[in-house]
Amino acid sequence: MRRAQRLFSGHFSYTFTHAITRAPAPSVINGLRSVDTGSPDFKRMQIQHSAYVSALRSTGAEVIELSPLAKFPDSCFVEDTALCLPDVAIIMRPGAPTRFEETRHMAPHLHNLYPTGCVEAIDGISSYVEGGDILTTGREILVGRSARTNASGIQELKRILENWEYTVREVITPKGVLHFKTDCSLLDEDTVLCTPRLQAADCFEGYKVIKTARGEEAAANAIRFNDLVLFPAGFPRTRDALVKAGYNVREMENSEFAKIDGGMSCLSLRFSP
């Protein structure tokens, strides 16, 4: 089938023509966080976000920059609002109640980008799924059950994706980890970067695995975007392992977003409609 072939076409999982980002609003300093390490510096956050957008653009991709949403402090983390695949986009239903309405502001943009009938939605009243729990590889879509993504949400997402000929596998996010992709990222169709604790959960049998260095677990949330691996600054041993493995690594300052549980993947939706 055409759709299945597009999923298993290898570069599908990290080669993109488009990205969507949303600039942080001043209210972002009140964003959700699992551990309070202090409020972000808004001006520094703006600088870091601008550098992130520039890095995406440097690969030749079209970056659609959305305006800040002051009412929603976490709305710069657009990845949680949708799953964007080559032929279909699925609007998520966030597990944090304060984030429910963010999807309503994202949906019109996806309807503009995708053909009619190619945008679907998680709408079950007991279903919750956030994009931070979804890792798309060249062979399957892994969805991590977590505090923000529940079994009902995964089953609803699976039903939708199977109609589009995609293979979905449910995995369990380790206890105490916010999102599945907090602890992992895709480097190419066969290789993932992940923390030792996630590797121990046997999520990646059949994949090549590069582990984060001890004490550098926060480096696991990187993104492969075309020819670049956007990688959070401050984790030199893990960075060196990626460079040694042949990846084109670009370090990005992410200190302010990290204070509210934000990583490299959280700040964009990446796709080729």
In order, the DSSP letters of 204-215 are -TTSEEEEPPTT
Nearest to 234 by CA among 259, 215, 211, 262: 215
Instruction: Compute the distance between CA of residue 39 and CA of residue 55 in angstroms, rounded to an integer.
Output: 25
Per the annotation, the verdict on 179 as an active-site residue is: yes
- Rounded-to-integer distance, Cα 95 and Cα 99, Å: 8
CB contact set of 155 (below 8 Å; sequence gap of 6+): 127
Question: DSSP labels for 18-86?
Answer: EEEEEPPPGGGGG---SS------HHHHHHHHHHHHHHHHTTT-EEEEEPP-TT-TTTT-GGGGEEE-S
User: How far is 67 from 149, CA to CA, in rounded Å?
Assistant: 27
Q: What is the distance between the alpha carbons of residues 73 and 75, in angstroms, rounded to a whole number?
A: 6
**Catalytic residue (choose from 179, 184, 194, 203):** 179
49 counts as catalytic: no
Residues with catalytic function: 179, 266
